[in-house]
Chain A
Amino acid sequence: MASSRIEVLNQGGYRSDGRKQHELRSIAIDLAPQGVADGAATITHGLTTVLVSVFGPREAKLRSQTLHDRATISVEVGVAAFSTGERRKRSKGDKRLLELASTIKATFEPVIQTALYPRSQIDIYLHVLEQDGSLLQTCINGTTLALINAGIPLLDFVCAVSGGVHVASPLLDLNQLEENDVPHLTLALMPKTKKITLVTMETRLHVERFEEIFRLAARAAEVIHQEMRAAIRIKANTLVASMGSTRATVDGTDRDGNHMDED
């Protein structure tokens, strides 16, 4: 295999893209509105970019799908043909995409307060623009932001991060090359309670090694949460400012009582 010639972790402790073991890739978040969507977010982790738009709560297109006591959530994932190095068109019925969509749906179902909107539907559309590993992580983080942006009530953020183990050294936020080579997992965490809503792993790994990377990834997810929260706060402040309110910023203290910077 071509990838095995590149060292995942070299003697100096650097990874193939120059990162340290526990270093995350740069995160870019864009919360600008897109088209007619009720909420949207574009999130970039390194070279993986996903665009998420959220519609709803609105009347379900199919009446048969409505639930009498809560809203249904529908998730669709599309992948741009140019997103990978090799141009490749994926069909809509691709099992991997269906699985990704159902994973995202299952993750957000208990987090979104669906009971507030009976007989309605919330649609989440994801479009993968660039792929360089950690796709599930990017999709989940993007969906959280888009849902917040759309004003849909959530119990908490959902912050996801991927991790892997190379020989015996844990790595965080894997890129495509690392993902092909080392056993990896993705977890999603709710930062307020520090509880895990999602764990997936599909490669062989010993239980003890799993525990190590699992605990490390849970801490990394909290770091990602900081970034996501900061982006939401900036967006909220701009909104408040443009409303022309005298108190031009949202309350400077968050619920933890920490004083946040007002910008």
Chain B
Amino acid sequence: MNILPGEQVNAQHSKLKLGPGLLQISVGNASESAPQPIIATRAGTLKHSSNRSKWWIESNSRRYVPAAQEAVVGIVLQRLGEGYRVDIGTAHSASLDSLAFEGATKRNKPNLKAFPLLSFPACVGSLVYARVSLAHKDMEPELECFDAQTRKAEQFGELKGGFLVRCSLQMCRNLLDPKYFLLPLLGVKFPLEAAVGVNGRVWINAKEPKQIIAMARCIEAADPDGGGQDEIATKKLLDTLDV
């Protein structure tokens, strides 16, 4: 169901959880019989979980608002004593502690030369694949490059080589969907690597530059916010590219 900002949402559940795009506003005194109304704050499709306890609005945008546990691709802006300042496309740049890497401990201060195997971004301008560990509206977002439980890298870390594609947030979510056509379609043609951040940035890599270019063009063509092409049209485009 499509919904516009300001429209009231009739969501009722004893353990109601509201996701992005929904807001409960306070109008006078609430009572058990007449709870505070819930309105939409974004235009999009209203969705809910199967037991109707979780509600959210699915919409597309370009600006990323950080949320904890989401994987993002960031650009290192600055090296500080304690870590890095990373641009992840949010209103404020995020911080990445140099202890938030696999194998880094307080006693064993990470040092680039001593840990060549660790995935520390070497300098300003590097790309990192990281997870948002803290997203609070009053604080700047924090990132980590490992799984906080296992303390293993889990593929997070610096992204070397390849190319960075910027796309809409919906496109990122599509790419993460295993049922989505694009990556399998490309994967049939040539071996590829991709790191999808949900912040509208996708790092891609393949053996040949022209394959990377083909990937970048297909992502742009299939982006609902860009070319908006479907599977057939994207396939046609891919066939015209000599890869």
Contact = CB atoms under 8 A, between A and B. Distances in A.
A20 interface: no
Per DSSP, chain A at the interface is loop
Nearest to B124: A68
A68 B80 CA distance: 12
B60 interface: no
B77 to A, nearest CB: 9
Nearest to B78: A68
Nearest to A67: B124
Contacts of B78: 68
A68 B78 CA distance: 8
A212 B124 CA distance: 46
A69 B124 CA distance: 9
Nearest to A68: B124
Contacts of B124: 68-69
Interface in A67-84: 68-69
Interface residues of A, number: 2
Interface string B147-181: 00000000000000000000000000000000000
Nearest to B77: A68
A69 B78 CA distance: 11
B121 to A, nearest CB: 14
Contacts of A69: 124
A69 B123 CA distance: 10
Nearest to B79: A68
Interface in B69-88: 78
Interface in A57-110: 68-69
B196 to A, nearest CB: 29
B179 to A, nearest CB: 43
A223 to B, nearest CB: 43
A57 B182 CA distance: 52
A68 B77 CA distance: 10
Interface in B120-147: 124
A118 to B, nearest CB: 11
A193 B242 CA distance: 40
A211 to B, nearest CB: 36
A68 B124 CA distance: 8
A90 to B, nearest CB: 38
A235 B68 CA distance: 65
A11 B125 CA distance: 63
A198 to B, nearest CB: 28
Contacts of A68: 78, 124
Nearest to A69: B124
A224 to B, nearest CB: 39
A228 B131 CA distance: 58
B80 to A, nearest CB: 12
Interface in B96-128: 124
A238 to B, nearest CB: 44
Interface string B180-192: 0000000000000
B122 to A, nearest CB: 12
B47 to A, nearest CB: 43
A64 to B, nearest CB: 12
Interface of A: 68-69
3 contacts: A68-B78, A68-B124, A69-B124
Q: What 3 A-B pairs have minimum CB-CB distances, sorted nearest first?
A: A68-B124, A68-B78, A69-B124
